[in-house]
C-alpha cells in the first residue's frame, strides 16, 4: 500500500541553562542523564494535552556515550522521567549535530507514518566526559593520510578554515564574537531566552569552607556580557602561534541538555498542541575533516535544492557558533554581511555555550521564538558544523507566516 508523506512540525523545545565544564562549573555534581530528565519533564509539564502513552519514540544524543551519558539514553532517560515503559528510546551520536540529528531521525519516522509524536534532544556533560574520552582513533587515519592530523583537534580545524578564507581576520572574528555577546545580553534583557529554560537544582560544594548547599540555576553560565574588542585582543591563540582562534571567539567547553517534541501536523492539531515550526527539508554533507567548519555550506546547498529554495528565501538564520570563523565563512560564501540582522538575532554559542550534542535543539527553540515574533518571515534555517568533517542544515517554515506581516 503506498504511503503519503506527512507534514512534520516542531511542537515545542526546552533546554537547561548551559554551564561551564569543569570542577567550578554549575553542573559539576549533576549527572548528565538527570539534565535530560529535567528537560523531558518540563516538556510534558508545558504540554499537558500530550498523553505520555502516545509518545512513540525518545531519541537522545550524546557525543561521548560513556558513564552517565551511556546506557541507551533515550530509553533510560524516558523511564527516569516517568514515561510509560511502553515508550521506547535510543541514543544517537553525530558529535555536535547530535540533537539536530535526533530531530531529523524522528521526523523521518513521523513523515513516513511510523510515529505520530516523538521526543528528540541531546546532552553533553563535558566536565564529566571530555570530548574524546575513551576513544581510540584508528592509526590508519594518519598513517595512510586519510585525514590530516589536525582533523582530530577542533581548534586546529578552525585555524585551517581561517587559512582557506584569508579575508576572515582575527579582528573580524573578534568583532563577530563581541556582537554575539551583545545580542545574547539583549535577548536576556528582553526576556527572549528565559521562556524556554528549565530551572535546575544543583548541589554546590565550597571546599574552602567545607560546606555543601543547594542552588537553583536559571541562566546560562558561560555568558560574558560587556566583552570588548580590547578584552579579546590579548587572548592567547592556543592552537597556533600567532593564530586567530581564541577562547573569546569560539564556544567553550560546556554542559547542558535539550529536548523537543516533534509530531505530525495532524496529530499536533488534533491533540491541541502548538505548531511552532513546519519542517521543509534537511540535509547532511561531508567535507574534508581538517576544515570541518566549512560543512554548513554544502549541507545548506543540498537542503535548499531539496526545498526548491534559494538562500534569498531564508529570512532568519540560526547558525551554531562553534567558532566565529565557521559562521563568517558561511556568510562570506553566500554574500551575507557579518552583521546581517537576520543572523543569530539572540546571539549564539560563543555567548551561551555549546554542549556539543545538545546544541541543535537550542538553535530550533530560538528560531521558533523568532518566527512567533516575525510573521512576515516565511523560512528560516538551523545549521551547524560537525566534527570530523560534516555539516547539517534544517530548513523550517513559519506557520504564522503572513506576507502582510500580520500574524494569522
Q: What is the pLDDT of residue 210?
A: 56
Residue that has been written with the C-alpha cell 548528565 in this structure? 32
Instruction: Evaluate whether 321 touches 58 at the Cβ level (below 8 Å).
Output: no
Cell of 205: 560544594
- Write down the pTM of the prediction: 0.96
Catalytic residue among 125, 129, 162, 385: 385
Q: What is the pLDDT of residue 408?
A: 39
Catalytic residue among 28, 96, 125, 129: 96
Q: How far apart are CA 255 and CA 241, in angstroms?
A: 29
Degrees, nearest 5: CA angle 267-273-279: 65
**Comparing C-alpha atoms, which of 87, 75, 90, 2 is closest to residue 37?**
75
Q: What is the pLDDT of residue 4?
A: 79
Superfamily holding 6-128+149-395: Thiolase/Chalcone synthase (3.40.47.10)
Domain borders along the chain are 6-128+149-395
Q: How far apart are CA 402 and CA 77, in angstroms?
A: 39
Residue 162 a catalytic site member:
no
Q: What is the pLDDT of residue 152?
A: 83
- H helices of 337-401, in order, are 349-352, 359-373
- Walk along the chain (408 residues) in steps of 10 and give the mean pLDDT of each run: 85 98 94 98 98 98 95 97 98 97 98 98 96 90 90 92 97 98 98 97 69 87 96 94 96 97 98 98 97 97 98 98 98 98 98 98 98 98 96 98 64
* Sequence-separated contacts (24+) of 80-83 with Cβ below 8 Å: 80/33, 80/34, 80/37, 81/36, 81/37, 81/40, 81/41, 81/44, 82/41, 82/52, 83/40, 83/52, 83/55, 83/58
Q: What is the pLDDT of residue 207?
A: 58
Residue that has been written with the C-alpha cell 539514553 in this structure? 73
Ranges of beta strands (E only) in 29-96 are 58-61, 90-92
- H helices of 113-220, in order, are 140-143, 154-164, 170-189
Q: What is the pLDDT of residue 131?
A: 87
The strand pair at 58-61 and 117-125 is best described as parallel
Catalytic residue among 28, 125, 129, 354: 354
Residue 96 a catalytic site member:
yes
Amino acid at each position: 500500500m503506498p504511503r503519503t508523506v506527512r507534514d512534520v512540525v516542531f511542537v515545542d523545545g526546552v533546554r537547561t541553562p548551559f554551564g561551564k565544564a569543569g570542577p567550578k562549573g554549575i553542573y559539576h555534581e549533576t549527572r548528565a542523564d538527570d539534565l535530560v530528565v529535567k528537560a523531558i519533564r518540563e516538556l510534558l509539564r508545558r504540554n499537558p494535552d500530550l498523553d505520555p502513552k502516545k509518545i512513540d519514540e525518545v531519541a537522545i544524543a550524546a557525543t561521548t556515550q560513556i558513564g552517565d551519558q551511556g546506557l541507551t539514553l533515550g530509553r533510560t532517560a524516558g523511564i527516569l522521567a516517568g514515561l510509560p515503559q511502553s515508550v521506547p528510546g535510543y541514543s544517537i551520536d553525530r558529535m555536535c549535530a547530535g540533537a539536530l540529528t535526533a530531530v531529523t531521525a524522528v521526523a523521518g519516522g513521523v513523515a513516513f507514518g511510523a510515529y505520530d509524536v516523538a521526543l528528540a534532544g541531546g546532552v553533553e556533560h563535558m566536565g564529566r566526559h571530555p570530548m574524546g574520552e575513551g576513544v581510540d582513533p584508528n592509526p590508519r587515519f594518519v598513517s595512510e593520510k586519510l585525514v590530516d592530523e589536525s582533523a582530530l583537534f577542533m581548534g586546529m580545524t578552525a585555524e585551517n578554515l581561517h587559512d582557506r578564507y584569508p579575508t576572515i581576520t582575527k579582528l573580524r572574528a573578534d568583532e563577530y564574537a563581541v556582537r554575539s555577546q551583545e545580542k545574547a545580553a539583549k535577548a536576556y534583557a528582553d526576556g527572549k531566552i528565559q521562556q524556554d529554560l528549565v530551572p535546575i537544582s544543583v548541589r554546590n560544594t565550597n571546599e574552602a569552607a567545607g560546606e555543601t548547599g543547594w542552588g537553583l540555576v536559571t541562566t546560562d553560565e558561560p555568558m560574558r556580557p560587556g566583552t570588548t574588542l580590547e578584552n579579546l585582543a590579548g587572548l592567547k591563540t592556543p592552537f597556533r602561534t600567532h593564530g586567530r582562534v581564541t577562547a573569546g571567539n569560539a564556544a567553550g567547553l560546556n554542559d547542558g541538555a535539550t529536548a523537543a517534541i516533534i509530531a505530525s501536523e495532524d496529530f499536533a492539531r488534533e491533540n491541541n498542541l502548538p505548531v511552532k515550526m513546519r519542517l521543509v527539508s534537511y540535509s547532511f554533507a561531508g567535507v574534508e575533516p581538517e576544515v570541518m567548519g566549512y560543512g554548513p555550506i554544502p549541507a545548506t546547498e543540498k537542503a535548499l535544492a531539496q526545498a526548491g529554495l534559494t538562500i534569498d528565501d531564508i529570512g532568519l538564520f540560526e547558525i551554531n557558533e562553534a567558532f566565529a570563523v565557521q559562521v563568517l565563512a558561511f556568510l562570506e560564501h553566500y554574500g551575507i554581511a557579518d552583521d546581517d540582522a537576520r543572523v543569530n538575532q539572540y546571539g549564539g554559542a560563543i555567548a551561551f555555550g555549546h554542549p556539543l550534542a545538545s546544541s541543535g535543539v537550542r538553535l530550533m527553540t530560538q528560531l521558533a521564538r523568532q518566527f512567533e515574533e516575525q510573521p512576515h518571515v516565511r523560512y528560516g534555517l538551523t545549521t551547524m558544523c560537525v566534527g570530523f568533517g560534516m555539516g547539517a542544515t534544517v530548513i523550517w517554515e513559519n506557520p504564522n507566516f503572513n506576507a502582510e506581516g500580520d500574524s494569522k
